[in-house]
Structure 1
């Protein structure tokens, strides 16, 4: 199970990149939709860094306990 948790962190990064791309595509045609994608990109990028930080912290704790 821990193997999958390591990779699910990067799904947030992929979603942030795709949301940024979609925001640039919608910028000229539909600004409201572009703002939604920018908001999604910011939130998922934050979640990527937040989850990666705590994953490393838990891995370090597990390494020290062994």
Structure 2
């Protein structure tokens, strides 16, 4: 969960993502979907059960998770 700031953006791993059409200070859900075949990470932002934004970044820009 992230809160939309006064500029209608959220921050995920030092990436500012614009979130249009969401009221200021509202909480949104962030879903991270890795695609290892294309070597990208899709960030989907949801508000009131609607996807309001989707952006794609290279996987190298995000920390790796090791189990």
Flag the structure with larger Rg. 1
- 1 or 2, which has the higher helix percentage? 1
TM-score tier by shorter-chain length is under 0.3
Q: TM-score, normalised by structure 1?
A: 0.22
Q: TM-score, normalised by structure 2?
A: 0.22
